Structure 1
């Protein structure tokens, strides 16, 4: 996807994705980085905030030092508290707001300290406001929009406390506002671009992963029917076999071969043959359970993996359902075209069982079913002489 289309997915100011699900995915993807950066920022920010006390003996009158330390300690508990909170689950849901709030509380503490100091002393603490502006935008780990709101509130509170309440001369306040606003423009632009690039990187990685998954799915699925191919089927059978050996469950593999499919291609053409294969895939999916796997092996050969069967009778009933579903007429197929199939069933596990052995046993049983006629099934290891109860026309109604 071009960069311009990526950009259209984001709000131009807040940078939030317009799609809520996409925004949730980004937050989850970015959360580890946010937590790591936020914890470092909380530790270092809290440390610097306390280290500022080293300047008090140089610039704060003795009679004001107690007030300054009361403000510093009154706000200085926030970083260590949030640092501990960052290791809890609830922190992740509001981490950006909390990280921005930490910077805002620190900034308000600085404004309060400056407001109680004599003007000549306050000048030495004013640069810390510039420092905290860059801290919130570029180091705290919070989002741009939260940093913007925190710094906007900080500018407003500084002008209210020093200009309206403190009576600072307009030209002095305007000079200081110039540098504070300039710091916000530089720090804000850097924070905006950093978050923008992170979100672009997220979208690019998401598209690359989606493309990789698409290629993987295509390599594991039959292109005509969309069913799992032989490679994926082997993996599914291997998983089912491992689980069955461990838990003592029973499974069945069904090897399905269409009767007379070559004649269908010869008579009606390959386009109709492809429609038949798609129809067979659809009907098999409709018959089996959600936990089962329908696969196309090659040509007109299909395989169904049925997991967790309770009895041989259940395996028989599923075979009959497959035959009945495939033999139903289809209005979108040419007149005179009737579908039928032969099904070989292999029940597993057994001692020394293997994936290849399961498919081979089901394949052999399918050839036994073909000896009985059309729309018949056979179970590997069971006699098929006579075919009673193993062909659709001879099956008792109760078994459908």
Structure 2
């Protein structure tokens, strides 16, 4: 029996991949599996996505790209790297600056490229004033430019007109690239929220990320996605508390009545942030109980009231996921996004899997 478990439902991953593949229409589906598949475990997740409609995979770093390439025969692109790094064979590259492009030419790197253009997010990617120079450099050098890529800043807010401005800029970039002699057959702009709300922005490929893991990319949801992760701890102890008695470091919370508290086996070393104090509702059995007092390094406390349900040592305590608070609801409570919540389980958390090919 593990004290802290991240349970991953591979059938949910397969379902979400099929849903997003269908929504992509004629466009290719790139499944983004950076950060160990958003903390779901790439070794188990990638084969399921591969079998459920993925056309390509995307990651951040070259090390991730090399690892994912061992799991699939489909294209794998990485877009966070610096000149001078060793480029793994078989990994396609995102190109974010003229310096990156110049180094690729000088080093005679032979890899399919995705030139990143900045369409208004102002993070990585070539500014519009550099587009023509970059495209001409690539064309003269005979580089294989598979396509252009860019990132949308506010696609999770479908009413925001900034997405239209970014899309117009992206169209200008594609037209200019072709004008100077690049074919760019696989261009991609849309992320998960744009995939679900803006089919007109699919271009040749879409990059699905958070939606693959069943998290709603747009507030309000309604996309038939199934959350894949549940984070489950155990009850370590149940003890009585008298009215007025305070708990945990700093004695920041005191019992409002005579009752009971339960000690749960997770803390900030495992990803339950200390700042989550007072935001957690933990599901034990069919009931939810509020977390109280300071979160400690490896445990926290919940208030059971009179414990009519008979919570006992060894019971499962769902921090988020099936049977408890959803990752999105928890994110709203702690003032962050659901991406960060599913990336939180770490430390002594053990992953287990249900469903899926080979499970």
Q: TM-score over 0.5 for the alignment?
A: no
Q: Which has the larger strand fraction?
A: 2
Q: Which has the larger helix fraction?
A: 1
Q: Give the number of the structure with larger relative contact order, counting CA–CA contacts within 8 Å between residues 6 or more apart.
A: 2
Using the size of structure 2 for normalisation, the TM-score is: 0.23
